[in-house]
Amino acid sequence: MSENKIERFLYLFKELEKEVIALSDIKSDDYVPFSRALNKIYYDKSNPLLSDYDNYSYLRSASDLRNLLSHENDTCIPTDEFIQKGERLLSRLKHPVTVYDISTKEIEYCTMNEKVFSIMKKMNLLGLSHFPILNQEKKVIGVFSRSSIFDGILQGIRFDSSSLVSDFEKVTGLSSHLNESFLFVSKTTTAEKVFTFLENRSAHKKNIACLFVTQNGSKDEKLIGICTLADLAKAKQ
């Protein structure tokens, strides 16, 4: 049993080592030490997953354990939990989760000629706080949120049962929201990249309400997915 664990761990570390060295992008004809590659990535913050201290610390411990086992094969035995953590990390390195992977593809949206009251009822029924406003080409041209009515009234927009989304265009444009902003990402943008972006973002900027996924991350492309910060948080667990 212990020999199987050791073999499983040593194989795991070999795979982790290959990934880390490749990701370090160190150009050398000679052997690149694992610790050098790992430290370069961590301190350069070139990979969000390996720039995380918990993952960095794990890999350093794994490296120490590999060195011990390589010289004295029965000195200590890695636990199942330790191995499983490494396997999860390896999987995330080899197959990074994209924002598109965790996004909602069946998107609830509205158009400029829909009645506001109808959208409000739908938002309440579905428990949603934001509806992207799409044009005929399914491109995002604005966002109707729970605060749009309030913001519109403050701007002097009249509201009644016949009001259309287009009546609130002044406050629903992508850059018109007072306290919120929206981020467009490509289909291949990883969740880890967004985590890093959010962590390094100035606290004085508007909160990002949700992420819109298009093929290349342009707002001039068809919307193919929508992702909330809550969705992202689940992906990080």
What is the structure's pLDDT at 237? 60
Distance CA 157, CA 53 (A): 50
Contact 162, 116 (CB under 8 A): no
CA distance 108 to 122: 9
Beta bridge partners, 190, equal: 98
Q: Is the pTM of this model over 0.85?
A: no
Give rounded-to-5 percent helix, strand, coil for the chain.
50, 15, 35
| Neighbour order of strands in the sheet with 180-185 | 180-185, 207-213, 225-228
Write the CA distances from 62 to 51, 79, 91, 112, 190, integer angstroms. 16, 12, 16, 56, 25
pLDDT tens string, the chain, 237 residues long: the values are 677 888 999 999 999 999 999 999 888 778 899 999 999 999 988 888 898 899 999 999 999 999 988 876 667 889 999 999 999 999 989 988 899 999 999 999 999 999 999 999 999 999 999 999 999 999 999 999 999 999 999 999 999 999 999 999 999 999 999 899 999 999 999 998 898 888 778 777 889 999 999 999 999 999 999 999 888 887 766
Give me 46's structure tokens: 């070139």
